[in-house]
Structure 1
Amino acid sequence: MLTYNLNERGTLTLYEYLYKCIKDDIVSGKIKTDEKLPSKRNMAKNHDISVITVENAYAQLLVEGYIRAVEKKGYFANEITNQISENQEVTENVSEYKINKPEKVKWIVDFNSNHVRYDSFPFATWSKIMRQKLLDEENSFLMTPSRNGIWELRSAIAKHLREFRGLTVLANQIIVGAGTEYLYGLIVQLLGRDSVIATENPGYRKISMVYESNGVRTIHLPMDNQGISIDELEKSDANIVHISPNHHFPTGKVMPAARRHQLLEWANMGERYIIEDDYDSEFRFSGKPIPTMASIDKNQKVIYMNTFSKTLAPSIRIAYMVLPFELMDKYTKKLDFYSSTVSSFEQYTLAEFIKGGYYERHINRMRNYYKDSRNKIITAIRNSSIYPQISIEEENSGLHFILRIKKNIDDENFKKYLKDKLINISCLTDYCYQYDDEVINEKFRKEFSHKFIINYSEVEESKMVEALKIIEQALKFTAEKDT
């Protein structure tokens, strides 16, 4: 007769503890496969408990498959020892590879971070809208959202693009998704994996990585002073080009009108498309906003993309793309089965945030905030002892600029010295792809070496003085090491 000390059950109920004891004995093999368990009445009598307690324990064992009931014969243990031992082996193997969570480096200044200042997020307004939407749209949150994004958000985005980017589009041309990476994948499926996508070199590596992971070949075309090389593009077999004409990362260049029209002419010569990534364009600090390529596209060749992660917060994974009419029709026929990847709650909140004028005010406030922050950081650099040795480039838009070292230094040694002193920084060559032609590689090195990226959106001005002293030390150290 199975006997257990029920006084050792701790906080478990009687039936939970009895269930656990029997299960453990089956798993360990103490109760053999096909061995009959005591009847409910005998088990209850042996432990001085009620029959219903035993019945509940047996019922749980039945549901989980540890025992089986045979009519008029009773309960029998199932054969599960091998399965459990395999699971235990897997657990043991997994435990061998447990990795402690790495400690986050506490940088004095992180020039690689492009996060927004968290104290700048409009928490009060955002939470107010969320609470109101919970009341107004409570039933809508429980329904499956529209595949391409809720109509309210797409309408708000269309209105925003018309008023602030000079781009006239219809709401039904807009597809909302959880981040640009997801939308890149949709573009690949829409235009075909036999496409060849040209990207900018130097450029944001993640773009090519996402396309290539979706099975598309990418080529990296060099940039000149006006942007991606039109000559190299025409010589290539690319049918799609992905560009950031309004503020390129990492060079910070703005593509002039002449090059934009050249690219549109290239796209018009067949089944070709331009993906215009308008990321970071909201923060322009001098002159008028740069018109989008999509706004001057007369032949529906530009796929416009943007995201709210830079202007609001990276955790708000809401991006969108505007498809030309022909591609939108193709998308509806080919990919309309995809469900929305953004929760209705976030979509309704953002839609109201835009429609209520809060987004416009937030952008204006953040533009002034970042302009002031940029000015203070640049002033600190100009007032420092390193200023005669450096120059500042492409500082009038976006949330980064280029710090060019005038003297000949080893960029890797310079970065390593700064990293050891808790200053995190990257140079333009970190974003360059290498070519088979060493002559071109050498040209790239000459053009982009000694140029470092200063992302300042999260930099505290109070830390800049200390950072500049360390940069001065790094310049001396690198110069001495190279001599």
Structure 2
Amino acid sequence: KKYMELYREMRQDIVEGRYGFSERLPSKRYLSEERGISLITVEHALALLEEEGYIEGKERSGYFVSYQEGDVFPVTDKEEKAGFIDFFKRKTAVSREQMSYPTIAKAVRRAMSKYQEEILEASEMQGKFFLRRALKEYLRRGRGIFVEEEQMILGAGAENLYALLAQILGEEKRFAVESPSYDKMQRIYESHGIQLELLPMGKNGIESAALQKAKAKVLHVTPFHSYPTGITADASKRREYLDFAHRNGAVIIEDDYDSEFSPLGKPEDCLFSMEAGENVFYMNSFSKTIGPAFRMAYLLLPKKNLKENLEKISFYSCSVPVLEQCILTELLESGEFERHINRVRRSRRIRKKSREEE
């Protein structure tokens, strides 16, 4: 799509410094005429850049670059503590965002017919290969994440993956986490003898001053819709997280449970893909996208030290029933999962527009 081509080009220009911080971008009309595309196409691309924090629109002045390299720590959030509300206690149309019973029932019937006796066989430790292959293709196609099957581990929900991560990374004995953050995650880490370093949240993520002072070698973050505040880290803050890892020889755990439902016209950029999977452990769950009874999540391991990390958890068995793995494979390969995601995105955009017009 033309608006995505323009979005990617301008994002690259901003990240590589061809447009500097606070610099004014060319006008919408100029971009439209120069490229031979409509104003609406240009506006859509600029809206994506603004939503992700690369640029900022100013009335009657145009668009200006708001992205900064991560080693230039912004100080604005020092005085701007987030006015926290419990984002997840608000009433939402949860039932409308769960996958429908008829869709799941059809997938169950297809899975039973297709896999037959294989449903009764034990799973590989990391999960059935055919599911990891289907998930690999979905991530490439739908999320722009490039990963191999051997980098994937399936688990029975996020809590199971937290325990595996504690097993893999627990020798560090100190994890830095957002404050506030998911209580169950904190309790699981602490039950494995890990000391938590609580980093206060600002308006767009962890406060820069607190991140600079952090001593931990593992940073656990939720860049999109952090729980329970609902805060989303912008592009500069995400780069700041990656720079923290580079400077301190640290690794990042990226907990990305809700980003499929981003109201943008594209999925949110994840740290794993920004970093090419070098020092980021990425995790996501299907409990949010399919339904809370569907207790399945996946972990993507970085290629670096992959063999050693897998060896640390090789004595575990896969905690996800094979039948559920077969059902998910059917949902992914048939396209039903992506159609469901797109329906929910459209619904969220409509609701957001309605609220803005009220």
TM over 0.5, yes or no?
yes
Asked if residue 268 in structure 1 is aligned to residue 281 in structure 2, the reply is no
Counterpart Cα distance in 1 of 2:220 and 2:97: 33
Letter paired with 2:332: I
Q: Which residue of 2 aligns with 1:209?
A: 187
- Tell whether 2:166 aligns with 1:185: no
| Structure 2 CA distance for aligned equivalents of residues 365 and 263 of structure 1 | 32
Amino acid at match of 2:321: S
Distance 2:134 2:97 in 1: 26
For the residues of structure 1 that align with 2:128 and 2:95, how far apart are their CA atoms?
29
116, 132, 138: which is aligned to 2:116?
A: 138
Judged with a 3 Å threshold, the aligned counterparts in structure 2 of structure 1 residues 327 and 181 are, in CA distance, closer, same or farther, namely farther
Summarize the Cα distance change of 1:178–1:115 in structure 2 as closer, same or farther, 3 Å threshold. Answer: farther
Report 1:13-412 matches (<5 A).
111=89, 116-117=94-95, 120-286=98-264, 288-298=266-276, 300-373=278-351, 378=355, 382=358
Aligned positions, number: 271
1:15 matched residue in structure 2: none
- Percent of residue pairs bearing the same amino acid type: 36
What residue is the counterpart of 2:14 in the other structure?
none
CA distance in 2: counterparts of 1:176 and 1:115, whole angstroms: 28
If you compute each CA radius of gyration, which structure gives the higher value, 1 or 2? 1
Contact 1:180–1:306 under 8 Å retained in 2: yes
Distance 2:248 2:198 in 1: 21
Any unmatched runs of 5+ in structure 2? Answer: 1-87
User: Following TM superposition, by how much is the alpha carbon of 1:275 offset from its aligned partner in structure 2, in angstroms?
Assistant: 0.7
TM-superposition CA deviations, 1:434-470 (whole Å, max 9, x none): xxxxxxxxxxxxxxxxxxxxxxxxxxxxxxxxxxxxx
| Cα distance, 1:334 vs structure 2 | 1.9
Whether contact under 8 Å (1:129, 1:353) holds in the other structure is yes
CA distance in 1, matches of 2:272, 2:101: 33
Displacement after TM superposition at 1:299 (Å): 6.7
**Higher RCO (CA 8 Å, separation ≥ 6 residues):** 2
Please tell me whether the aligned partners of residues 166 and 292 of structure 1 are also in contact (alpha carbons under 8 angstroms).
no
Q: C-alpha separation between the residues in 1 aligned to 2:348 and 2:268?
A: 18
* Alpha-carbon offset, residue 373 of structure 1: 4.5
Q: How far apart are residue 155 of structure 1 and its match?
A: 1.2
Q: 1-side partners of 2:100 and 2:275: how far apart?
A: 35
Is the CA contact (8 Å cut-off) linking 2:158 and 2:297 kept in structure 1? yes
Q: 2 CA distance for matches of 1:139 and 1:255?
A: 46
Give the direction of change, closer, same or farther, for the CA distance of 1:117–1:374 in structure 2 (3 Å limit): farther
RMSD after superposition: 2.3
SS across alignment from 2:338 = helix
Alignment CA distance shift 1:327-1:316 (3 Å): farther
State how far apart, in whole Å, the 2-side matches of 1:362 and 1:288 are: 15
Change (3 A) 1:315 1:327: farther
Aligned mates of 2:112, 2:258 — CA distance in 1: 31
Of stretches 362-371 and 319-328 in structure 1, the one that deviates more from structure 2 is 362-371
Superposition deviation, residue 153 in structure 1: 1.2
1:139 partner SS = helix
Q: Secondary structure at the match of 1:259?
A: helix
CA contact (8 A) 1:116 1:310 kept: no
C-alpha distance in 1 between matches for 2:151 and 2:182: 26
Moved more, 174-183 or 219-228: 219-228
Unaligned runs of at least 5 residues, structure 1: 1-109, 383-483
What secondary structure is seen at the aligned counterpart in 2 of 1:268? helix
Hey, what does 2:51 align to over in structure 1? none
Output the CA distance in 1 between the equivalents of 2:164 and 2:199: 23
Q: Mark the CA change 1:113 to 1:194 in structure 2 (over 3 Å): closer, same or farther.
A: farther
Q: CA deviation at 1:157?
A: 1.4
**How has the CA–CA distance of structure 1 residues 130 and 221 changed in structure 2, closer, same or farther, with 3 Å as cutoff?**
same
Does the 8 A contact of 1:230 with 1:263 survive in 2?
no
**Quick one: which amino acid aligns to residue 313 of structure 2?**
L
Equivalent position amino acid for 1:241 in 2: L
* Alignment check: 8 A CA contact 2:256 2:284 kept: yes
d(CA) in 1 for partners of 2:155, 2:345: 25
SS across alignment from 1:342: coil
Contact between 1:274 and 1:301, CA under 8 Å: does it hold in 2?
Answer: yes
